[in-house]
Amino acid sequence: MPRYPRADGRLDFKSLTLDEIEAEIAGLGSEKFRALTAYKWVWQRGARTFAEMKNIATPVRVAMDEKFYIGWLECEGVIESADGTTKFLWKTDDGYQIESVLIPDGDRLTLCVSSQVGCAMACTFCLTGDLGLKRHLRPSEIANQPLQIKAGLDTRITNVVMMGMGEPLHNFDNLVAALRTYLAEDALGFSHRKVTVSTVGLVPAMQKLAELLRVNLAVSLNATTEEQRRAVMPITRKHSMAELLEACRTLPIMQHKRITFEYVMMGGVNDSMDDAARLVDLMAGMKAKVNLIPYNENPSRDIRRPSDERVHDFQTFLVHRGVQCSVRSTRGIDISAACGQLGKADPRSATDWFSRNRTASPA
Ligand code: SAH
């Protein structure tokens, strides 16, 4: 794993697993115990310095401080939607902007997390694609998003979805390292049932992930023919839809989980009743659920959102033929939180949000 040393040689503590931290501090004495104590301070109590870890002997704390830094995302702003959706804008160490979106829905509080700055997949309908890939996020940056937001909440984040900026499986090693932190009981402690990785369909990485971790998988299908999918999702040239669906059928996680197929409905592109019929065929023999996402219109695309009636008919068609199918409600549209739409916010709004919701300071 990369250790992201700073100019002073110190390593990124939050990008390391517990085992790696233990190995790094070998020689300080009682490594295992010290590593675990510091790890819990950081991931469970949100410690930002080694100095505050009072139950670790001073010389060990000092030695750790010489060895590691504890990274933190600067919160540039928080924008709240009328529907309760909240978008967080973060600035990385090197000045890039990323975002996370918190979505309350009944008993659930779902956090949508970014995995890259920009994205290389170039799906024609997606605004994040316009940025191109600037860089992969580090494990620490992927895991700091829930950690820092949690600190400002009185309630628990119940679900995490890797559906923010970026293609998570394109940033495979860092994603896996971050997910280990999400799932570790001594770190963020999310259940694997509550964590979902969404992908355009990087087939080999999907298979590798399924071997390593038991998280949920969502696949952005968005089309019902090869030709249609190639036109909107260039990745189809590398991995055909047939290859992708075959891989989904044979993934080991199919034994105990359903794969979610996201289907962005674009007016006149993939929303015909013929599409619905083909989608039913594609889902045959698949332990799947389909999540229809009516396209969120934006000024830089000439793509139309289908009528509510069309979305409803499409859904009904699938359900009547035994395909589990839900419609994703559009949330946060008034704050451009709905899909990869970058926004600007006043940094003071971050201070407001974090102090209103509790005591933790954002930066
Ligand atoms: N790269 C991964 C993770 C991003 S998830 C993936 O593609 O799965 C973001 C989801 O939003 C994807 O399903 C994508 O197809 C969808 N999406 C992108 N732009 C959209 C828009 N304008 N309206 C509705 N859904 C959109």
Quote the pLDDT of residue 72: 96
**Prediction pTM value:** 0.94
Same domain? For 107 and 235 the reply is yes
Give how many domains the chain has, as a whole number. 2
Same domain? For 207 and 338 the reply is yes
Atom 6 of ligand 1, nearest CA residue: 199
Q: Is 99 a catalytic residue?
A: yes
Same domain? For 57 and 135 the reply is no
Residue 325, Cβ density class (10 Å: 0-12 exposed, 13-18 middle, ≥19 buried): buried
Atom 12 of ligand 1, nearest CA residue: 220
Same domain? For 54 and 89 the reply is no
Tell me which residue range forms the domain holding 294. 74-351
199 ligand 1 Cβ < 6 A: yes
Q: Is 339 a catalytic residue?
A: yes
Same domain? For 94 and 44 the reply is no
Same domain? For 223 and 343 the reply is yes
Quote the pLDDT of residue 341: 57
Q: Rounded to an integer, what distance in angstroms lies between the CA atom of residue 331 and that of residue 320?
A: 27
Q: What are the backbone dihedrals phi and psi of residue 77, each rounded to the nearest 5 degrees, phi first? A: 170, 155
Contact between 41 and 65 under an 8 Å Cβ cutoff? The reply is no
Task: List the catalytic residue out of 24, 75, 76, 99.
Answer: 99
- Name the domain boundary from 20, 44, 69: 69
For residue 116, being part of any structural domain is answered with: yes
* Residue 246 CB coordination number (10 Å): 12
The single-letter code of the amino acid at 5 is P
Distance 183 CA to ligand 1 centre (A): 24
Quote the pLDDT of residue 1: 62
For residue 357, being part of any structural domain is answered with: no
- Give the residue among 259, 334, 324, 339 at the shortest CA–CA distance from 294: 339
Q: Rounded to an integer, what distance in angstroms lies between the CA atom of residue 204 and that of residue 244?
A: 10
260 ligand 1 Cβ < 6 A: no
Same domain? For 51 and 125 the reply is no
200 ligand 1 Cβ < 6 A: yes
Same domain? For 236 and 183 the reply is yes
Q: Rounded to an integer, what distance in angstroms lies between the CA atom of residue 61 and that of residue 25?
A: 11
Quote the pLDDT of residue 363: 46
Same domain? For 303 and 193 the reply is yes
**∠ CA(7), CA(148), CA(32), 5° rounding?**
65
Same domain? For 19 and 85 the reply is no
Q: Rounded to an integer, what distance in angstroms lies between the CA atom of residue 360 and that of residue 145?
A: 14
Per-residue pLDDT of the chain (363 residues; tens, 9 = 90+): 668 889 899 999 999 999 999 999 887 777 778 999 999 999 999 999 999 999 999 999 999 999 999 999 999 999 988 888 999 999 999 999 999 999 999 999 999 999 999 999 999 999 999 999 999 999 999 999 999 999 999 999 999 999 999 999 999 999 999 999 999 999 999 999 999 999 999 999 999 999 999 999 999 999 999 999 999 999 999 999 999 999 999 987 666 789 999 999 999 999 999 999 999 999 998 999 999 999 999 889 999 999 999 999 999 999 999 999 999 988 777 777 666 455 556 778 898 889 887 654 444
Quote the pLDDT of residue 29: 73
Distance 15 CA to ligand 1 centre (A): 27
